[in-house]
Amino acid sequence: SSGINAEWPLRPGKEFRALGDCKAKPCQLFRHYRESGPAALNSFLNSESYEERYQIIMKYVFDPISRALCECPGMIGASTNCARNYDGTLFTFTRMDRAQFDSVVEEIDWKALKTILHGWVKGGCGEKNGKDCVAELSDMFSISGRWLDNTFRGEDSCQSLIRLEEEFTVYMETAFSFNMTTDTVKSVANKFMDVYSDMQRKSLCDPSCAAEVMDSFYSCCVKHSLEVTLSKPMRKNYQKLFRNMWGLFSEEKVPNLNSAVNKYLAMMDLDGFCKDQTNVYGERNEECESLGA
């Protein structure tokens, strides 16, 4: 027993020990998942709706990580430094080949990755308009479960895919129509974003439903998160990381996906994306800005 512990490859390293009061945070997370895991799994298996399942995943899995990073953002640097400088004890311990791990470590632009992770933390922490942003973002992601519930109940409502039947059908047909032997990555990305944009426009901008849909997810916290995570500095780092890591997946030249990316970013500016049909997102933006949120 003591011999195993002495060689245990996942013991805290100096990077985490240097975090001061936050050095215990990884162990606290581990204990949380170990102790709450059985109850969370039981709740998930006994849940009666997709929305409830999504809420359980957010509550037991993502929220604890989010709060830990909000309290201790230094964990990001400690984690990336551990990965970069890892001595490979785990591979020795398990007699696994570490060549692929080393290849990933060499390819990653660690500065860009850390900037992106810190941006996500900045965008998802704190309070806006008196609301806890970790909880608000968790609720936003859980909303998709409600859409599935309403859809499978046959409910033709604002928060149901039945309302998007035509656009969703085209979207699925397009997703299964690609021929990777003849289509390029660039053409696939552009086609996919075109039909996805059409579906999102119907989902978010339809004047008869926009107010209800907006109220269900677009809070000041979500507005802030989108602005931070899609800012120009963040976009540059996304591009850097994508170009940097492309070699891990393909030996071909890095594709130019600027057009597809710009289409996606246009959707994230909800006021501009829906302006020709509704101004509810612009009104919410003004409300948040007037509150300093």
The residues facing 131 across adjacent strands are: 128
**128 membership: H or E segment, kind and range:** strand 127-128
- pLDDT of 51-109, one tens digit each? 999 999 999 999 999 999 999 999 998 888 877 777 666 666 677 777 777 777 887 88
Taking the CA of residue 177 as centre, how many other CA atoms within 13 Å lie in the half-sphere pointing to its CB? Answer: 12
230 in helix, strand or coil?
coil
pTM of the model: 0.83
- pLDDT of 69-78, one tens digit each? 999 999 998 8
Rg for the chain, CA atoms, rounded: 22
- The one-character DSSP state at 38 is H
Give residue 88's pLDDT. Answer: 67
Question: What residues of the chain score a pLDDT lower than 70?
Answer: 1-14, 87-93, 293
Give residue 179's pLDDT. Answer: 85
